[in-house]
Amino acid sequence: MNTFFSGTRLRDMIRAIRACKTAAEERAVVRKECAAIRTSINENDQDYRHRNLAKLMFIHMLGYPTHFGQMECLKLIASAGFPEKRIGYLGLMLLLDERQEVLMLVTNSLKQDLNHSNQYIVGLALCALGNICSAEMARDLAPEVERLLQFRDPNIRKKAALCSIRIIRKVPDLAENFINPAAALLKEKHHGVLITGIQLCTDLCKVSPEALEFLRKKHTEGLVRTLKDVVNSPYAPEYDIAGIADPFLHVRLLKLLRALGQGDADASDAMNDILAQVATKTESNKNAGNAILYECVETIMSIEDNGGLRVLAINILGRFLSNRDNNIRYVALNMLMKAITVDAQAVQRHRATILECVKDSDASIRKRALELVYLLVNETNVKPLTKELIDYLEVSDEEFKGDLTAKICSIVEKFSPEKIWYIDQMLKVLAEAGNFVKDEVWHALIVVISNASDLHGYTVRALYKAFQTSSEQESLVRVAVWCIGEYGDMLMNNVGMLAIEDPVTVTESDIVDVVEIALKHHALDLTTKAMALIALLKLSSRFPSCSERIKDIIVHHKGSLVLELQQRSLEFNSIIEKHQNIRSTLVERMPILDEATFTTRRAGSLPAAVSTSGGASLNLPNGVVKPSTAPLVDLLDLSDDVPAAPGSSGGDFLQDLLGVDLSPAPTQSGTNQVQKAGTDVLLDLLSIGVPPVQSSSSTTDILSPIQNEKSPIATLDALSSSSPPSAQATSSARAAPMMDLLDGFGPGPSKPENNGSVYPPFVAFESSSLRITFNFSKQPGNPQTTLVQATFTNLTPNVFTDFIFQAAVPKFLQLHLDPASSNILPASGNGSLTQNMRVTNNQHGKVYLLYSHLKLHSLQFLDFMASYEHSSITM
């Protein structure tokens, strides 16, 4: 034992830490201190427990790991005296939380303390339980807490009430046991117990319909009376806040009444009078008074309709909205969002004020106001409101532009009265904040443009003009480049002039200039440049005079360091040089994109749901791009509804497939992410369209050398099948993001070579002393259950005896641990232990989580265990 360190007082330690000049020095001091504390703990040093824990709390506060002190807390809690227990519980709440497995060990101590004869110790236990209780503890200790709700001392009753809230939040099934004791608390005279009892009842109403029904029938009147008493109570300095009597009790009572009145006319009726009284009598010049009014308005808005009260409430909000205090304006905006469903007309009256709030300097207010404006928009006011918002877009803060842009786009899409207005507004937004526009928004715009055949000329001219001033806005450039590729000839000839337009004089070479700028602009990304290349290919056929120049540009990019661009250039160059005969057919204008399909794709979440009738146009990016759908793939349930995935090359394979099938530009590149594939596919799709039948052989010809060598058979398979490759492509597409996802997770070998094994084994944990490997398998006919076989190998020269492995899983999984093959782990890797676990998934479609969960959690857990290795193994 190092006597020097165990003698360090807390103050000296703090001083030493403070004296450190660098972070490294500080770490060294902390490391030394931790070592000393560890030694002291191992020696079971009673005298220094307090000091050790106090030091640990300080070290924890500085952000260093302190998990080795957790056992110390448990020991202090288990000791007999109040002072020890107190600091033990304090440490427990600071150093531990409900997810740490050590917490299971504390359940027994908590149970004893909850039954302790000393009510102060009971109070400590309740406090700890309320703050860190896990679902398991909740189940084990609920009877004790329920009993304590009737304890003689009010301090215990109120703590027990709040503890019960935590318990029913963790395990809603337990709610019914608490209904009666909780309702009894509503009759309490003790202020603290009453306020906590009301909170408990409010939470019960949330989790249990029976509780709600019971309280509604039996206690609405009582609560109305209580509120009446509070409103009319004489001045009580103890509960007075800035001249407002007991605002906290007010607020909580109103909240519970809201729960009771919602959806029940009788209960709502019973509380009308008192709500009117609160709404009219409460003073509104203090924050506390406004808090009551705010809660009261919310209750009025939520309970069953009473015209008079609602007018009162809307008037209060109107007053709030014109208040000079920003906090009050903020809550007014917040509440008007709820009021809009009740009385849209009344809220519309405040439109001008709300629009001003969108321009407020306070981001919180702006955000609320924008949400509200969004709800206020309808067919009649969409034009002026959009104009206001777009005007403001020019001057708004950078960080607000994202939100604002998204909302404007959404409004424009939803309410646009005519196509030309839609295109105009979108172009304005793109020119102003194109970098904030989401991909799906400009994709939608392209679909609309493609469908508005009478506006092609107008749009491309407008885009050309916008490009001159806003060439740094990525999505504007993309749309412009796409339109120029498609309708470049219209730009030049002023085809389809509208009356509102000024004629422009543009030459062929001006147009090629634009595309070339896009291609060479350093700030624009790969997708844009790839689109620019395609536009050039299209223009080369439309503008024979510029053909040579375009060819030069394309040739120049054959040397591009970016594989994607290099490949496209090579292919396009070959089209221009060797395939003159098919070029014009190949680069024909895109067929009109199918709006309905696009909308379904955008809205739909499952890639498989989309029919394959449209040939090319169906393979829009959705399922592959959106990570929200892709990770839902049943990794461990492959046998269930997904045919065997074609190995790790699934993503590339899909890309090849689509690339081969659709366009002469497959997006097969080593660094390309699977998520990207979708975008590129769309890109190809939008630019090239379906190649005419006679060209397909040559297209394939161009491509065949660069196909992914891993999946030639699958590719051929798919090509030879006459039907569109829906099923297979889908399955592989779904499998692919999965692999990608897991690739990022850890060191495990995440490239399965075979289709047979459900998932490859991985090393869950490895340290200098212990290695754990997990193997996965499935029971035939029971796809929801996965067998995990853990293999433990001892790498130290000592034999581990009494070896126990524990595991925990998230709620939606069930874990069954079989006994291990032995509890003795021979030394130096001479043989190993195995233990089987069966994991059953109740929630279909989320199994992938299991793997990552197991992986991540086992790492944490084992990491933690590793620090105990020496102490627990030698014991």
Partner 1 sequence: MIRFILLQNRQGKTRLAKYYVPLEDSEKHKVEYEVHRLVVNRDPKFTNFVEFRTHKVIYRRYAGLFFALCVDITDNELAYLECIHLFVEILDHFFSNVCELDLVFNFHKINYFITSPSKGIHRPHIGSDDSPHMRTLACVYLILDEFILAGELQETSKRAIIERMGELEKLE
Residues within window 212-251 making contact with partner 1, judged by CB under 8 A: 238-239, 241, 246-249, 251
Give me the least distance between CB of 315 and partner 1, in Å please: 18
Helices (H) and strands (E) in the chain, counts: 41, 7
What is the radius of gyration, based on Cα positions, of the chain?
Answer: 34
Q: Is 745 in the site for partner 1 (CB under 8 A)?
A: no
Interaction of residue 14 with partner 1, rule CB under 8 A: yes
Closest CB to partner 1 among residues 365, 479: 365
**Cβ atoms of 821 and 835 closer than 8 Å:** yes
Give min distance, CB of 395 to partner 1, in A.
18
In which element (H, E) is residue 856 found?
A: helix 848-874
Which residue among 125, 142, 159, 433 contacts partner 1 (CB under 8 A)? 159
Q: How many Å apart are CA 343 and CA 346, to the nearest integer?
A: 6
Closest separation in Å from C-beta 326 to partner 1 = 4
* Contact positions with partner 1 (CB under 8 A) in 110-139: 120, 126-127, 130-133
Of 154-162, 307-315, 472-480, 671-679, which segment contacts partner 1 by CB under 8 A?
154-162
What is the rounded (10 degree) CA torsion for 425, 428, 430, 434?
A: -130
- Note the Cα 98 to chain centre separation in Å: 22
Residues 151-163 as b/e (b if ≥16 CB within 10 A, e otherwise) read beebbbbbbbbbb
Long-range contacts of 187-192 (CB under 8 A, 24+ apart): 187/222, 188/154, 188/157, 190/154, 190/157, 190/158, 191/238, 191/239, 191/249, 192/154, 192/155, 192/158
d(CA 657, CA 716): 9
| E strand or H helix that includes residue 814 | strand 813-817
361 binds partner 1 (CB under 8 A): yes
809 binds partner 1 (CB under 8 A): no
Stretch that binds partner 1, among 48-56, 210-218, 429-437, 780-788 (CB under 8 A): 48-56
Order of all β-strands in the sheet with 770-779: 762-766, 770-779, 782-794, 832-841, 813-817
Which CB sits closer to partner 1, 66 or 648?
A: 66
Judged by CB under 8 A, the stretch of 10-18, 494-502, 666-674, 719-727 that binds partner 1 is 10-18
Does residue 9 bind partner 1 (CB under 8 A)?
A: yes
Site for partner 1 in 58-77 (CB under 8 A): 58, 61, 63, 65
CA dihedral 435, 436, 441, 443 (to 10 degrees): 20
- Looking at residues 18 to 37 of the shown chain, list those that interact with partner 1 (rule: CB under 8 A): 18
Candidate residues 284, 353, 364, 566; the one interacting with partner 1 per rule CB under 8 A: 364
Contact by Cβ (8 Å): 87, 94: no
Beta bridge partners of 825: 800
Q: Does 186 bind partner 1 (CB under 8 A)?
A: no
**Between 201 and 660, CB nearer to partner 1:** 201
User: Which residue do the tokens 């928004």 mark?
Assistant: 441
**Residue 558 binds to partner 1 (criterion: CB under 8 A):** no
Measured CA to CA in angstroms, residue 345 lies from 116, 340, 341, 348 at distances of 61, 8, 10, 5
- Total residues contacting partner 1 by CB under 8 A comes to 74
218, exposed or middle or buried, with CB in 10 Å at 0-12, 13-18, 19+? exposed
Q: Which is nearer to partner 1, 86 or 589 (CB)?
A: 86
Q: Taking CB under 8 A as the criterion, which residues in 485-544 touch partner 1? A: none
**Is 199 a residue that touches partner 1 (CB under 8 A)?**
yes
Site for partner 1 in 776-805 (CB under 8 A): none
**Minimum gap (Å) between residue 843 Cβ and partner 1:** 21
Interface residue with partner 1, options 172, 192, 746, 845 (CB under 8 A): 192
Minimum CB–partner distance for residue 478 and partner 1 (Å): 31
In one-letter notation, the amino acid at residue 864 is F
Out of 245, 291, 449, 518, point to the residue binding partner 1 (CB under 8 A). 291
Nearer of residues 120 and 745 to partner 1, judged by Cβ: 120
Cβ 785 to partner 1 shortest distance, Å = 28
By beta-carbon proximity to partner 1, the closer residue of 237 and 756 is 237
Which one of 156-164, 179-187, 503-511, 847-855 is the stretch in contact with partner 1 (CB under 8 A)? 156-164
The binder of partner 1 chosen from 41, 110, 166, 445 (CB under 8 A): 166
- Which string of DSSP letters, residue by residue, matches 62-124? TT---GGGHHHHHHHHHSSSHHHHHHHHHHHHHH--TT-TTHHHHHHHHHHHHT-SSHHHHHH
Residue 295 as a binder of partner 1 (CB under 8 A): the answer is yes
**83 lies in the binding site for partner 1 (CB under 8 A):** yes
Residue of 68, 178, 294, 422 that binds partner 1 (CB under 8 A):
294
Based on CB atoms, which residue is closest to partner 1, 107 or 791?
A: 107
Under the binding rule (CB under 8 A), the answer on residue 573 touching partner 1 is no
Q: Does 50 bind partner 1 (CB under 8 A)?
A: yes
Interface residue with partner 1 among 6, 155, 277, 629 (CB under 8 A) is 155
Cα–Cα dist 32/64, whole Å: 13
Residues 689 and 664: beta-carbon distance below 8 Å: no
Closest to partner 1 by CB, 15 vs 578, is 15
Q: Which of 40, 70, 109, 196 binds partner 1 (CB under 8 A)?
A: 196
Q: Which residues within the stretch 303-332 sit at the binding site for partner 1 (CB under 8 A)?
A: 326-331
In 398-525, alpha helices (H)? 398-415, 419-433, 439-451, 456-469, 474-493, 508-520
